[in-house]
Amino acid sequence: EMDEDENYIKEVALYEENKKELFYDKLKFYYIEIPKFRKSDKELSTHLDKWLYILKHLVEFTDIPEFVKEDEVLEEVFDVAEFLKLSKEEQFAYQKDLKARLDFENTIDYAKETAREEGREEGLKEGREKGLKEGERKKAIEIAQNLLNIGVDTNTISKSTGLSIEEIEKLKQ
């Protein structure tokens, strides 16, 4: 078991002073004494270990440690730390550049979405038109068949339905 002196995480609860009993068993606080955290970078096994190591050694790092590169959240800590090292003017320039880049990306995303939407609408329109044409053609064939059945000549049927003479001849078969 860890020596009391080496215990860097303290679990603290509230006690009612008059009764000397626990105030509420669901309410606990954790107090972390970072100076007492003494693990080396080779001994880090949990996510908490990595966080504590970073917090303790952040000002000492010249490069991002390898274990950080495997974790997006921990890498973000370094990005924020790098930003905070900049002068106010450099921070302003960085934010201005970042805003311009994000605006550009949003413009591109909006243009792509608009183009997709227009493409969908055009596709629907073409689909409707194609469906209508197919429906009209089926109706013309049906009418031509009925006219053939009552003995109307091929030329008259062609003029009435818009079907070619060849198409009408095929219907006779």
Domain count, the chain: 3
Residue 111 has what pLDDT?
A: 84
Q: Are residues 26 and 100 in the same domain?
A: no
Amino acid identity, position 85? K
Q: Are residues 14 and 63 in the same domain?
A: no
Helix segments in 58-153, DSSP class H: 66-69, 72-85, 88-149
Q: Are residues 56 and 120 in the same domain?
A: no
Q: Are residues 109 and 125 in the same domain?
A: yes
Which residues form the domain of 80? 38-85
Q: Are residues 65 and 130 in the same domain?
A: no
Phi, psi of 17 (to 5 degrees): -65, -40
Residue 27 has what pLDDT?
A: 93
Residue 31 has what pLDDT?
A: 92
Residue 38 has what pLDDT?
A: 92
Measured between its terminal Cα atoms, the distance across the chain in Å is: 98
Q: Are residues 32 and 46 in the same domain?
A: no
Q: Tell which of 47, 65, 85 closes a domain.
A: 85
Residue 1 has what pLDDT?
A: 47
Q: Are residues 18 and 44 in the same domain?
A: no
Residue 132 has what pLDDT?
A: 85
Taking the chain (173 residues) in runs of 10, the rounded mean pLDDT of each run is 69 90 91 92 90 86 82 84 84 87 87 85 85 86 88 87 89 84
Q: Tell which of 54, 69, 85 closes a domain.
A: 85
